[in-house]
Amino acid sequence: MSGLGKESFFRLSREMIDFEKINADHWPEVWTILEPVFRAGETYPYPMDTSEAEAKAYWMNPPLDSYVAVKDGTVLGVFYIKPNQPSLGAHVCNCGYVTSPAAAGQGIGAQMCEWSQIEARRLGYSAMQYNLVVATNTRAVALWQRLGFDVVGNLPKAFKHAKLGLVDALVMHKEL
Amino acid sequence: MSGLGKESFFRLSREMIDFEKINADHWPEVWTILEPVFRAGETYPYPMDTSEAEAKAYWMNPPLDSYVAVKDGTVLGVFYIKPNQPSLGAHVCNCGYVTSPAAAGQGIGAQMCEWSQIEARRLGYSAMQYNLVVATNTRAVALWQRLGFDVVGNLPKAFKHAKLGLVDALVMHKEL
């Protein structure tokens, strides 16, 4: 590794991650990643008692394009890309990302976000919008900002956080 | 009318409008109101070639609660109320309003908006959010502002206007 700066090492480590379209074989691992997020009720609005069948039907079907981040045969994260609005607003996509707790702190969220932007462009989208970034999820807000997203709106008390009650949520946006 | 100021007359005229839950008997009139809006592609993102069957399936079923504004047996406008997000964001509703071209300029949009806020409170919502108010629809923007809505976000180039191309859209919000 001598002679490689921090940025070069980051680039090397990125190459070890594959991004694949989700398939039924990934699902059991994906569910172990999603389930704790639903149960916690701190970052996504889906029902806290979402069943595996409901989650599978949502994540594995249109209008979602869902992907997994895989390293050495292990799923480290999952995300989706979908149109944020019907026809005349369908050039803007919406995405959601969940990183495996076992892979926290390795930059998987950032890599999923960057790769999703490339894929979204390939799918024909011209912008990416997050509709409900929970304001108390400050790590996520900071990460999306670092990756070029602007806070374009603040929704007062828009999210019923399981522990904190009603908290604000942000609308974030990036032109692709 | 002597002794009645402008405000009193407004209140009297309001009382002539009934708001009813939409039903199948309303639909033919409702479709004559909705169809030109879809075909125009200037205010709502739904496909410009939306069929009557598609529109009916959307407007007459959950998760939408849809209503008509009726005066002397004629439908003058139609609107819906629905949760803007799943579970942990479902305390905020989203609405859409369409006034009959034949009733333009009579304040029907304002009355539908005001009545929808009362109904939304009754349904248990604590706030109302419009996700995609087309910025070039300046009359609508001014109306919602007059009725207490704040512009809480600006979405650059979020709407593909049939005549103007990509234009901004606004996120508007009111606590109920």
Tell me the per-residue pLDDT of A70-107, one tens digit each, with 9 for 90 and over. Answer: 999 999 999 999 999 999 999 999 999 999 999 998 99
Which A positions 46-75 lie with beta carbon below 8 A of chain B?
46-48
Low-confidence spans in chain B with pLDDT less than 70: 1-15
Cis peptide before B63 (omega within 30 of 0): yes
Q: Is A153 on the interface with B (CB under 8 A)?
A: yes
What mean pLDDT is reported for chain B?
93
pLDDT band at A8 (very low <50, low <70, confident <90, very high): very low
CA of B131: which chain A residue's CA is closest?
Answer: A131
Contact assignment for B88 to A45 by CB distance below 8 Å: yes
Do residues B87 and A47 touch, judged by C-beta distance below 8 A? yes
A82's tokens: 């979908």
Which of A129, A132, A157 lies nearest to residue B155, judging by beta carbons? A129
In Å, how far is A172's CA from the nearest CA of chain B?
Answer: 9
Contact assignment for A155 to B162 by CB distance below 8 Å: no
Q: Is A160 on the interface with B (CB under 8 A)?
A: yes
pLDDT band at A16 (very low <50, low <70, confident <90, very high): confident
Which of A41, A131, A171 lies nearest to residue B88, judging by beta carbons? A41
Q: What are residue A165's DSSP bridge partners?
A: A161
The predicted pLDDT at position B116 comes to: 98
Which of B91, B132, B152 lies nearest to residue A85, judging by beta carbons? B132
Contact assignment for B156 to A127 by CB distance below 8 Å: yes
Task: Report the alpha-carbon distance of residue A39 to residue A47 in Å, rounded.
Answer: 8
Express as a percent the part of chain A with pLDDT over 90. 90
Task: Report the alpha-carbon distance of residue B98 to residue B78 in Å, rounded.
Answer: 5
Q: Is A91 on the interface with B (CB under 8 A)?
A: yes
The predicted pLDDT at position B16 comes to: 83
In Å, how far is A106's CA from the nearest CA of chain B?
Answer: 28
Which of A92, A155, A160 lies nearest to residue B158, judging by beta carbons? A92
Q: Which residue has the tokens 């019907």?
A: A86
Checking if the pLDDT of A14 tops 60, the result is no
Prediction pTM value: 0.90
Element (H, E) at B35: helix B27-40
The predicted pLDDT at position A15 comes to: 57
pLDDT tens digits for range B54-83: 999 999 999 999 999 999 999 999 999 999
Burial class (CB in 10 A: 0-12, 13-18, 19+), A29: middle
Strand ranges inside chain B, DSSP E: 18-21, 65-71, 74-83, 92-99, 127-134, 150-161, 165-175
Angstrom CA distances, A141 to A164, A171, B66, B156, stand at: 17, 10, 36, 19
Q: Which residues contact residue B127 at a Cβ distance below 8 angstroms, ignoring those fewer than 6 apart?
A: A156, A157, A158, B91, B92, B93, B173, B174, B175, B176
CA of A153: which chain B residue's CA is closest?
Answer: B153
Do residues A58 and A98 touch, judged by C-beta distance below 8 A? no
Set of chain B residues whose Cβ sits within 8 Å of the Cβ of A45: 85-90
Which of A89, A169, A175 lies nearest to residue B132, judging by beta carbons? A89
Q: Is A132 on the interface with B (CB under 8 A)?
A: yes
Angstrom CA distances, B127 to A162, B69, B95, stand at: 19, 22, 11
Q: Is B158 on the interface with A (CB under 8 A)?
A: yes
